[in-house]
């Protein structure tokens, strides 16, 4: 039993995962900047930390293997080994193997490690060695910062014997952060001063990573003739009086008497003649030094790790609070109690702030995801014999961690397709007047309650003729069927659809784009495609910022209530009697000169009940397409806590979830893109029948 404390091995694995990400990113940077010493040092430190911590937590094989890679980078630091593409390639493979040795040591392939070490030994000019028979390096102890209080009094004849006190004090400062105050108490009257004598003393506070013996080493040649007092000091906030008593400057009795006065403690003691100005300044300097050191330590400890499950549980509880607050608001609206209404408004404010803070905790910069694809593009480029550079912008854009986790695989598929299908080979690009090196660019930007993520390449663009031919071959379209660019491009998301001329390890089996569409639909997002022949293609993902709580528009249709995500709503208008009297086959609204189609939820869902005298139209957008949704009544804005549908109802395409209302009732949340698809497919079925 560990009393609920986290498993130290799992904690190490989590920290190692961060180190592996840092190491991979650094290695890829080194490949482009082989002369950057800071990058080399960063890679070396990451390997050293993995090695030492791995041995400490029982991952002996990982520590022994890492030792060899660390040695190679130590040779680079010392100038005996040059950075080369081969070294970076071996280091990346080694990083993957070390991760396997830590994440799943029982299944890690020992032969893979031996091959990597043989390649590394040949590169550095050594003898190949096995990966598991090497001695385990002993990890260096953790560096500890210690604060010392020093009182330094040199011998009066120190300068006459060839010593230089000021130079020794400068050497002391080089050991760490040092606060030093001269003490002139022992200086005699002018007529008694020996011009060759040393009368000054120094009070010093030193914070250093060096051991206690390093202080003695500074004064080693004068130690026998001087007075040197060294005490270790605890780094905690202290009052001036405590420091003075600890230093022996005043007694506790004198301090207590002085505290009864009204002036500042230091001034009181100086006036009473029990403390010199120099000793007061020394004590104040120590007080300031200790406070600075404590603040530094506090800042270093501000970041903590929190399990993802705990964040999910927190968000669930915030969602329940929002539901309870809505019920309380409904009760308050029926009451004339002003005090109750005031309390409800305060609870609404607090719960809203708590919701924003909780959602903010879950938000993660998307740059953490973008940086993972550098290795993917590099390896694909080498495999396909192309020169492709990955770049990105908007990496500071934040998105819900759940969305980030589920977005990885779709982006992998899209990037692989851009590198394989989009970017041409170097000779083809030169023939087309392009740079030999292709480019894939990732970008992210906030747009209301959505985030737009684009994958853009500067390749040849989508081949409309080949897509059309493949669609006709598979029976998706007829030869005489007219298609817009958007309709044509969306054919690539059909299962099994592929225009690749041959099957490779990268593509050609028609598996991938349909998976992308399904995953993005599962995130309640959409995909837009744009392509210019000879210039490239752009895939834009429109995704919600969060999957937990959204702002919605609550509507009523034939006695049933539904929620439309507010991010999809453009405007609300009243349906005129002329528009309402038209045929229900294909309805259009004229909104400021634009024809906007609309659908009637009453008919689409086969709802019965009296129709509203003045129905409303909610104009929504799905990607670049606008359409209207006819409802009976607009009930107002609603903070919507999304609840998943049961397994029995999970396959209903028009709903993305449900929410609990203030009166305890349930309202279904409309999935706007799927609602449009369902309406169009139903219309086609009616025409066919």
Residue 417 among the catalytic residues: yes
Structure tokens at 629: 């949704």
280-293 residue pLDDT tens: 888 888 888 877 77
Q: Are residues 559 and 652 in the same domain?
A: yes
Within 10 A of 557 (CB to CB), how many other CB atoms are there? 22
Compute the distance between CA of residue 578 and CA of residue 581 in angstroms, rounded to an integer.
5
- Please write down the HEC assignment for all residues of 423-450: CCCHHHHHHCCCCCCEEEEEEEEEECCE
pLDDT of amino acid 439: 93
Structure tokens at 532: 């210019």
Q: Are residues 407 and 506 in the same domain?
A: yes
Whether 510 shows a pLDDT value over 60: the answer reads no
Which of 24, 31, 48, 293 is catalytic? The answer is: 48
Q: Are residues 358 and 370 in the same domain?
A: no
Angle made by CA atoms 324, 330, 332, in degrees to the nearest 5: 105
Q: What torsion, rounded to 10 degrees, do the Cα atoms 130, 132, 137, 139 define?
A: 140
Beta strands in 505-624 (DSSP E): 526-532, 536-544, 549-557, 560-565, 569-574, 587-591, 594-600, 616-622
- Quote the DSSP letter at residue 490: G
Q: Are residues 201 and 293 in the same domain?
A: yes
Domain termination residue (choose one: 481, 514, 544)? 544
Counting residues of the chain whose pLDDT is more than 70, the rounded percentage is 88
Residue range(s) defining the domain that contains residue 447? 366-544
Residue with tokens 């000091």: 233
Beta strands in 321-425 (DSSP E): 363-365, 388-393, 398-400
pLDDT of amino acid 152: 92
Q: Are residues 474 and 604 in the same domain?
A: no
Please, what is the average pLDDT of the chain? 82
Lowest-confidence pick of 222-236, 301-315, 441-455, 539-553: 301-315
When pLDDT is averaged across residues 155-168 and rounded to a whole number, the result is: 86
The residue count for the chain:
689
pLDDT of amino acid 687: 66
Whether 161 shows a pLDDT value over 90: the answer reads no
Start-end of H helices in 524-606: 577-580, 601-604
Q: What torsion, rounded to 10 degrees, do the Cα atoms 57, 45, 396, 407 define?
A: -50
Residue with the larger pLDDT of the pair 309 and 128? 309
194-217 residue pLDDT tens: 888 898 899 999 999 888 888 988
Whether 550 shows a pLDDT value over 80: the answer reads no
Q: Are 621 and 568 in contact (CB under 8 A)?
A: yes
Residue 262 pLDDT grade (very low, low, confident, very high; cuts 50, 70, 90): low
Compute the distance between CA of residue 411 and CA of residue 516 in angstroms, rounded to an integer.
8
Specify if 3 maps to a domain: no
Specify if 133 maps to a domain: no
pLDDT of amino acid 512: 65
* Residue 126: Cβ-neighbour burial (10 angstroms; 0-12, 13-18, 19+): middle
Q: Are residues 111 and 247 in the same domain?
A: no
Lowest-confidence pick of 121-135, 239-253, 454-468, 630-644: 121-135
pLDDT of amino acid 557: 92
pLDDT of amino acid 689: 60
Q: Are 424 and 460 in contact (CB under 8 A)?
A: yes
Residue 523's SS3 state is coil
Residue 128 pLDDT grade (very low, low, confident, very high; cuts 50, 70, 90): very low
Compute the distance between CA of residue 656 and CA of residue 638 in angstroms, rounded to an integer.
16
Specify if 140 maps to a domain: no
650-686 residue pLDDT tens: 677 788 788 888 777 888 888 887 787 788 777 776 6
Domain termination residue (choose one: 73, 91, 124)? 124
The CATH number of residue 48's host domain is: 1.20.120.160
Q: What torsion, rounded to 10 degrees, do the Cα atoms 191, 194, 195, 201 define?
A: -110
Which of 31, 417, 421, 424 is catalytic? The answer is: 417
344-365 residue pLDDT tens: 899 988 988 888 888 788 888 8
Q: Are residues 536 and 560 in the same domain?
A: no
Q: Are residues 114 and 103 in the same domain?
A: yes
Buried b (16+ CB within 10 A) or exposed e, 345-365: eebbeebeeebeebbeebbbb
Specify if 130 maps to a domain: no
Structure tokens at 464: 């409309």
The segment with the largest mean pLDDT, out of 83-92, 280-289, 348-357, 490-499, is 83-92
Q: Are residues 431 and 560 in the same domain?
A: no
Q: Are 101 and 108 in contact (CB under 8 A)?
A: yes
Which of 24, 31, 70, 398 is catalytic? The answer is: 70
Residue 138 pLDDT grade (very low, low, confident, very high; cuts 50, 70, 90): very low
When pLDDT is averaged across residues 638-657 and rounded to a whole number, the result is: 76
Residue 48 among the catalytic residues: yes
The CATH number of residue 344's host domain is: 1.10.287.560
Estimate to the nearest angstrom the gap between the alpha carbon of 667 and the chain centroid.
Answer: 34
pLDDT of amino acid 132: 39
Residue with the larger pLDDT of the pair 577 and 350? 350
When pLDDT is averaged across residues 574-599 and rounded to a whole number, the result is: 75
Compute the distance between CA of residue 396 and CA of residue 319 in angstroms, rounded to an integer.
27
Start-end of H helices in 57-109: 60-78, 85-103
The count of structural domains within the chain is 5
Lowest-confidence pick of 131-145, 339-353, 602-616: 131-145
Q: Are residues 224 and 99 in the same domain?
A: no
283 Cβ contact list (under 8 Å, min separation 6) = 240, 243, 244, 247, 249, 266
pLDDT of amino acid 409: 87
Residue 586 pLDDT grade (very low, low, confident, very high; cuts 50, 70, 90): low
Specify if 94 maps to a domain: yes
When pLDDT is averaged across residues 259-263 and rounded to a whole number, the result is: 63
Q: Are residues 153 and 290 in the same domain?
A: yes
Specify if 136 maps to a domain: no
* Residue 299: Cβ-neighbour burial (10 angstroms; 0-12, 13-18, 19+): exposed
Residue with tokens 């001695």: 135
511-528 residue pLDDT tens: 468 888 888 877 878 888
Domain termination residue (choose one: 525, 544, 563)? 544
Lowest-confidence pick of 45-59, 120-134, 568-582: 120-134
Specify if 193 maps to a domain: yes
pLDDT of amino acid 348: 87
Specify if 406 maps to a domain: yes
* Residue 259: Cβ-neighbour burial (10 angstroms; 0-12, 13-18, 19+): exposed
When pLDDT is averaged across residues 142-169 and rounded to a whole number, the result is: 85
Q: Are residues 281 and 351 in the same domain?
A: no
């Amino acid at each position: 039993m560990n009393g609920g404390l986290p498993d130290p091995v799992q904690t190490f694995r989590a920290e190692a995962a961060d180190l592996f990400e840092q190491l991979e990113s650094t290695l890829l940077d080194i490949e482009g900047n082989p002369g950057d010493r800071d990058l080399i040092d960063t890679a070396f430190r990451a390997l050293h930390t993995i090695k030492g911590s791995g041995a400490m937590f029982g991952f002996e094989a990982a520590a022994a293997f890492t030792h060899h890679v660390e040695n190679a980078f130590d040779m680079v630091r010392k100038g005996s080994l040059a950075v080369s593409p081969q070294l970076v390639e071996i280091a990346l493979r080694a990083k993957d193997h070390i991760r396997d040795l830590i994440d799943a040591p029982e299944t890690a392939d020992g032969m893979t490690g031996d091959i990597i070490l043989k390649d590394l030994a040949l590169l550095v000019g050594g003898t190949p060695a096995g990966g598991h028979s090497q001695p385990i390096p002993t990890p260096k102890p953790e560096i500890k910062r210690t604060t010392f209080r020093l009182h330094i009094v040199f011998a009066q004849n120190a300068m006459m014997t060839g010593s230089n006190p000021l130079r020794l004090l400068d050497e002391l400062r080089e050991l760490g952060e040092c606060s030093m105050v001269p003490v002139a108490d022992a200086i005699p009257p002018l007529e008694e001063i020996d011009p060759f004598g040393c009368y000054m003393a120094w009070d010093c506070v030193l914070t250093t990573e060096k051991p206690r013996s390093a202080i003695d080493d500074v004064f080693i040649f004068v130690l026998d003739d001087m007075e040197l007092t060294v005490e270790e000091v605890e780094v905690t906030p202290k009052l001036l009086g405590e420091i003075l008593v600890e230093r022996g400057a005043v007694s506790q009795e004198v301090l207590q008497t002085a505290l009864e006065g009204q002036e500042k403690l230091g001034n009181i003691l100086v006036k009473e003649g029990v403390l010199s100005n120099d000793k007061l300044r020394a004590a104040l300097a120590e007080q300031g030094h200790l406070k600075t050191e404590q603040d530094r330590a506090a800042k270093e400890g501000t970041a903590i790790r929190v399990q993802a499950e705990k964040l999910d549980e927190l968000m669930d509880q915030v969602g329940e609070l929002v539901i309870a607050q809505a019920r309380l608001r409904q009760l308050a609206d029926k009451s004339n109690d002003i005090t109750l209404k005031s309390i409800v408004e305060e609870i609404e404010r607090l719960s809203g702030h708590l919701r924003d803070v909780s959602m903010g905790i879950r938000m993660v910069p998307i740059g953490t995801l973008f940086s993972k694809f550098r290795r993917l593009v590099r390896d694909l480029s080498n495999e396909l014999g192309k020169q492709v550079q990955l770049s990105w912008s908007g990496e500071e854009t934040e998105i819900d961690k759940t969305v980030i986790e589920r977005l990885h695989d779709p982006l992998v598929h899209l990037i692989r397709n851009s590198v394989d299908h989009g970017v041409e080979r170097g000779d083809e690009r030169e023939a087309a007047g392009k740079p030999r090196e292709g480019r894939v660019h990732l970008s992210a930007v906030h747009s209301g309650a959505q985030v737009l993520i684009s994958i853009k390449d500067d390749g040849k663009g989508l081949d409309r003729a080949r897509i059309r031919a493949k669609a006709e071959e598979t029976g998706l379209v007829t030869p005489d069927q007219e298609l817009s660019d958007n309709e044509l491009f969306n054919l690539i998301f059909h299962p099994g659809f592929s225009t690749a001329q041959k099957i490779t390890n990268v593509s050609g089996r028609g598996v991938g784009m349909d998976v992308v569409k399904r995953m993005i639909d599962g995130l309640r997002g959409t995909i837009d495609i744009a392509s210019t022949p000879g210039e490239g293609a752009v895939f834009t993902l429109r995704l919600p910022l969060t999957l937990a709580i959204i702002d919605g528009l609550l509507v009523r249709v034939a006695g049933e209530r539904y929620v439309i995500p507010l991010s999809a709503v453009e405007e609300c208008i009243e349906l005129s009697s002329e528009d309402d009297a038209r045929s229900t086959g294909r309805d259009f609204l004229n909104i400021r000169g634009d024809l906007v189609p609309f659908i009637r939820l009453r008919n689409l869902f086969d709802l019965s009940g009296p129709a509203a005298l003045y129905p409303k139209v909610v104009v929504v957008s799905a990607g670049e397409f606008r359409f209207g949704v006819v409802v009976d009544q607009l009930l107002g804005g609603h903070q919507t806590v999304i609840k998943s549908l049961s397994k029995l109802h999970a396959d209903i395409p028009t709903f993305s979830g449900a929410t609990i209302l203030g009166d305890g009732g349930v309202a279904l949340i409309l999935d706007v893109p799927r609602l449009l698809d369902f309406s169009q497919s139903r219309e086609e079925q009616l025409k066919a029948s």
